[in-house]
Amino acid sequence: MRKSVEKFRKKFNTKFLNIFIFKLIEWEVKRMVTKRDPTAFFREEYERLVKEGLNWELRVLESASEPECIVDGRKVIMMCSNNYLNLATHPRVVQAMIEAAQKYGAGAGSDRSIAGNMLIHEELDRTLARFKQAPASLTFQTGYMANEGLIPQLADKGDLFVSDELNHGSIIDGIRLSHADRAIYKHKDVSDLERILNEAERHDPPYKRIWIITDGVFSMDGDLAPLPEIVKLAEEHGAGVYVDDAHGEGVLGEGGRGIVSHFKLGRDQVHVEMGTFSKAFGVIGGHITGSEDLRRFAYNKARTWLLSGAMPPAVAAACKAAIEVLESNPQLVDKVWENRRYFMEEVEALGFDTGNTETPIIPIMCGRSKTARDLADYLWKKGIFVLPIVYPMVPRDKARIRVQVCAKHTREHLDMAIEALKSGGKDLGLI
C-alpha cells in the first residue's frame, strides 16, 4: 500500500511540475510577443491619417513670402498666406530686425519674468497699446501661447466659460486647461448664447465668474463674430468678454486696429483683445490688450509667459516696426479690401459659392473633400498655390479651398487665379 501511495505522489508531482513549467513558458512567450512598444503608434496613427485622407503633405517655401514665390521648386502665385499686408518683407521691418540683432544679440538669455525683459520688449508693448488706443498691452512668444497661458487663469472651479462652437483650437485648449465649467453655443447664434447665460444664472451655487470667448474673424469661413450683441448680453449678465482677433488685425477697424475698433467698442466692454503678429503684421508673436490691471495680472499668472524664454529681440523690433509701418501707411488696409472686392465680384459672377465670408478670407465651397483636393491640385498645376480645407477641420460636406488676398496682389495675379478657378470649377462641376 505504501509503495502505491509513493508512486502516485511522485506521478502527481511530476505532472504538476510539467504543467507549471508549460504555463511558465507560455506566459513568457506571451509576454515577449505582447511586449509594450511605446512608439509603434507614431507610424500606425500616420498610416491611418493617410488611409483616411486626413494627413498634411508639407510643401516647402523656398523664397520670401511674396505674392509671387517659389514653392517646391515652382514659381507660383501665393493665395493662401496670412501675410495680408505683405509686411513680412517690408524693408523697414527687415532692417529693424537686422539692427536689433546686431545691438541686442540673437536671444534675450532668459524669460522676461527673470532677466530677459529687454527695453525693446517694453517698447513693443507700449507701441502696441498706442496703436490699439488702449491703456496697456503685453506680448507673448506666439498667439497660441497667449490663449493657452491666459485663458486658464481667468476662471477656475465654480466659474464658467461660454465658447463659440467654431473657436480656434488654441481657445479650446486654453479652456480645457482650466477647472471651470464650460458651455458651447451654436456658431454666432446670439439666441443660443442668451439661453446658456440664462441657464447659468440658475446654477447652484451661483457662478462667481462667467467669460464669453469668441474668435473675431473665424479663419475657415471669414465671417465676423457678432461682437456688439455679445457685449450687450455680457453686460446684462456681468460676464467678461474675450475676443481672439488674430485674423482681424491689420484688416478690420480704423487703420487696421482690429475688431474692437471696427465695432467702435470700448475697453470696458471687451475686456481682453488677443491678437498675433504672425498674420497681417508679417512676423511672429502673440499679444493681449486691455487695462493696466489685465497686463499686470497676465504677467504674474500666465505660465506660458512666465516660464518661456523671451521673444528674441530682433523679432520684437520687427513687430514694433510693422506696427509703425501700418500706422504711417493705412492705405495698405484699403488695398487689401480693394483686392478682396474685385476677387469676390469675379468669382461670385462665375457662380462659385463663397459661403458667409465678410473678410479677405474667401472660401470656395466644394462640398466633398475629394473635390476640394482635386481643385487645389488643378490650381497648383496652373501655378496658383492654395490649400484644401477638409474634414475634420470642417464638416464632411463643407470642404473648401481657402483663398486669402493680400495688399500686393496685382490685378494680373488675381485674374490668373480667377481664370484658373473658372476652368477648374467647370471641370469639376462646381460652376
DSSP bridge pairs for 275: 287
**What is d(CA 312, CA 101) in angstroms, rounded to the nearest whole number?**
8
For residue 258, what are the CA distances in angstroms to 107, 213, 250, 275, 281?
30, 16, 7, 9, 12
Kindly state the cell numbers that stand for 120.
525693446
Location of C-alpha cell 493657452: 148
Look at residues 310, 257, 308, 253 and name the one whose alpha carbon lies nearest to residue 281: 257
Residue 85: all three cell numbers together: 499686408
159, 163, 184, 377 from 193: Cα distances, Å: 16, 9, 8, 40
Q: Sheet harboring 361-367: ordered strands across?
A: 361-367, 399-404, 387-389
- The β-bridge partners of 273 are 243, 289
Give yes or no for a contact between 403 and 80, defined as CB atoms under 8 angstroms apart: yes
DSSP secondary structure letters along 237-253: HT-EEEEE-TTTTTTSS
Q: Could you tell me the three cell numbers for 322? A: 510693422
Active-site amino acid positions: 219, 247, 279
Give the C-alpha separation, 367 to 358, whole Å: 20
Question: In the structure grid, which three cell numbers stand for residue 418, read together?
Answer: 480667377
* Strand boundaries in 42-191, DSSP class E: 68-71, 74-78, 136-140, 160-164, 181-185
CA 72 to chain centre: 25
Nearest to 174 by CA among 244, 258, 233, 113: 244
